[in-house]
Amino acid sequence: MKKWLLLLLYVLLLGIAFINKTVIWDWMNRNDSLTLLITMATLFALFPIVPYKLVIATLGYTSGIVWASIISWLGTMLAGVIVYGLVRYAFREQGRRYLAKKPWIQSFTTTIETHPFIAIMIARLLPIVPQMAVNIFAGVASISLWRYTLASGIGKLPGIVLYAYLGENLASSPYTSLSVLAIYLLLLGIVLSLYKMILKRRSI
């Protein structure tokens, strides 16, 4: 019963945040307290009323690439650990049912069971992989906290720095920003291709 109450509370808070997202967004843009910004970044990661990439870019525009990267990274890491802990110790069955609805998770399951650190790091690098699903999967699969945290921290960092850079420079240097984005996507493609090649060789 307590589990369902927690889920209901989450849905309720998500609804309230969505209804008031304009007010929350304006308040975040006006505030410069480091503690409050990290708290807000964590809440935006937990309650995705706006895409987190937009949160990072906005912080890049208002706070610069360095502080935006630090705040966003800490926020998303705190949110990830919270979801991981809740799923691992309280909502494992609900997590399994959620993941069962994701077709891509079956191939990912085998990979993460044999190479958990690399699999999580690659999943964090790829923008097409739902980050909440990675948090839930790690909790369901009982991957150790330190391995999950370290792999997530490394995997999230390049994308966060990129979006913080775009937020700070896209308006003033659009061509340079788009070039950086293209290079980043190219590098991601190379990393993914190499990873698939390694897995294919090991399965032979």
Q: How would you label 15-35 residue by residue, b for 16+ Cβ within 10 Å and e otherwise?
A: eebeeeeeebbeebeeeeeee
pLDDT by residue (tens digit) across 21-78?
A: 565 556 666 666 778 888 888 888 888 777 788 888 888 887 888 988 999 999 999 9
> What pTM does this model have?
0.75
Distance of CA 195 to the CA centre of its chain: 20
Measured CA to CA, the distance from residue 202 to residue 196 in angstroms comes to 10
pLDDT of 4 reads: 47
Q: What are 163-173's pLDDT values in tens digits?
A: 889 888 877 78
Q: Which residue ranges make up each domain of the chain? A: 2-203
* Side chain identity at residue 117, one-letter code: F
